[in-house]
Amino acid sequence: MSKYSKDPKAIADLTPRQYEVTQEAATEPAFRNEFWDKKDAGLYVDIVSGEPLFASTTKYDSGCGWPSFTAPLDPANIVENTDRAFGMVRTEVRSTHGDSHLGHVFDDGPIEAGGLRYCINSAALRFVPLADLEKDGYGQYVSLFDHAASTGAQA
């Protein structure tokens, strides 16, 4: 059983925008969100469940105005659904345990990193800085950043 789950208290504490995005599948404005240009080393976790979703090591500037990642940290923490809203077909991305709407995945990402772009709403995420990973219960991910530092990848 996972230690991550949809937390009613976390949902009650969401801001109106966080609630609209995670619970009602809204989209926040491009370039006017917390993490679109954040470059600090750390993890991005589901704001509702705390499940780890993305690492800064796979974040890149796609120019779209939302945080973009080439791959999820653990594919088991991501659910993909067909989204037919607004007269188009897209692939929605949700967190597995929190069931939060995160954003969408597209096939226009960097080819050398697999070709995917996970376009994620900042409002669905909480950032855990590298320095706080151990303290906040994500210590098993610290080694990802050792590897990034040794290869010259963005941490």
Domains of the chain with bracketed CATH: 8-130 (2.170.150.20)
Question: d(Cα 120, Cα 46) in Å, to the nearest integer?
Answer: 11
Within 10 angstroms of residue 27's Cβ, the number of other Cβ atoms is 15
Q: What is the pLDDT at residue 150?
A: 47
77-110 per-position pLDDT tens digit: 999 998 888 888 899 999 999 999 999 999 999 9
125-152 per-position pLDDT tens digit: 999 999 999 999 999 999 999 865 544 5
51-65 per-position pLDDT tens digit: 999 999 999 999 999
Asked whether residue 123 carries a pLDDT value surpassing 80, the answer given is yes
Which one is catalytic: 14, 47, 119, 123?
Answer: 119
- 119 is an active site residue: yes
Measured CA to CA in angstroms, residue 128 lies from 12, 24, 52, 81, 104 at distances of: 21, 24, 10, 27, 22
Contacts of 29 (CB under 8 A, 6+ apart): 65
- Pull the structure tokens for residue 154: 């963005």
Q: What percent of the chain has pLDDT over 90?
A: 82
Give the closest residue to 48 by CA, choosing from 99, 121, 119, 105: 99
Between 65 and 153, name the one with better pLDDT: 65
DSSP symbol at 51: -
